[in-house]
Amino acid sequence: MPKILNIITHPNPILRRISKNFNVKNIKTDDAQEFFNNMEVTMIKKDGVGLAAPQVGKNIRVITVNTKEGVICCINPEITKKSIMKEIDEEGCLSIPETFGKVKRHKNVTCIYLDRVGNKQELKAKGLLARIIQHEIDHLDGILFIDKAKNIKSVRSY
């Protein structure tokens, strides 16, 4: 039964470390599959549209992304193509609660990754999905959206 993992919040140093590649030999193990399940459940239950492994305390290159077709788990994701065109939109992050800012990102990206059973996949993403992928891969590189954001605002409720 999947469990909800604790979300690491800023300024925890785990969020600033560069994540190591996931060891592909372990992809089909029970432990790995349980971790992927836990990440998916955590993202959904916390109302996230994406989640990176560092956000749950693991510096490995794994992200989950909520797409129109459902949740996908991307292992060792890599952006291989970026559009020249960029757009600015508001972002937030589960690891930086109640904080939002305007971030400029590529409108379209192509991402290659391994799926949960180790098959190589290619995802051509545009709009919000492209933004989510870039945001989550930034987490794997120790980059937070506040590093790129303008007009950062806190909506803390007292």
pLDDT in tens, 76-96: 999 999 999 999 999 999 999
What is the C-alpha to C-alpha distance for residues 64 and 92, in angstroms, rounded to an integer? Answer: 16
In this prediction, residues 48-74 reach a mean pLDDT of: 97
Pairing of strands 62-67, 96-106: unpaired
Q: Where do the domains of the chain lie?
A: 13-154
Kindly report the three-state secondary structure assignment for every residue of the chain. Answer: CCCCCCCCCCCCHHHHCCCECCCHHHCCCHHHHHHHHHHHHHHHHCCCCEEEHHHHCCCECEEEEEECCEEEEEEEEEEEEECCCEEEEEEEECCEEEEEEEEEEECEEEEEEECCCCCEEEEEEEHHHHHHHHHHHHHHCCCCHHHCCEEEEECCCC
The residue assigned the tokens 């399940």 is 37
pLDDT at residue 44, rounded to an integer: 96
- The string of pLDDT tens digits covering residues 99-115 is 999 999 999 999 999 99
pLDDT at residue 98, rounded to an integer: 94
CA atoms within 13 A on the CB side of 93: 33
The CATH architecture annotation of domain 13-154 reads Alpha-Beta Complex (3.90)
Question: 136 catalytic, yes or no?
Answer: yes
Say yes or no to pLDDT of 158 above 70.
no
Model pTM greater than 0.85? yes
Task: Give the chain's mean pLDDT.
Answer: 96
Please give the structure tokens belonging to residue 6: 């604790």
Say yes or no to pLDDT of 10 above 90.
yes
Please give the structure tokens belonging to residue 91: 């972002």
In this prediction, residues 30-46 reach a mean pLDDT of: 97
Q: Which of 87, 98, 122, 136 is catalytic?
A: 136
Confidence of residue 157 (pLDDT cuts 50, 70, 90): low
Say yes or no to pLDDT of 18 above 70.
yes
In this prediction, residues 117-126 reach a mean pLDDT of: 97
One-letter identity of residue 53: A
Please give the structure tokens belonging to residue 94: 């589960």
Beta bridge partners of 18: none
Whole-number percent of the chain with pLDDT over 90: 95
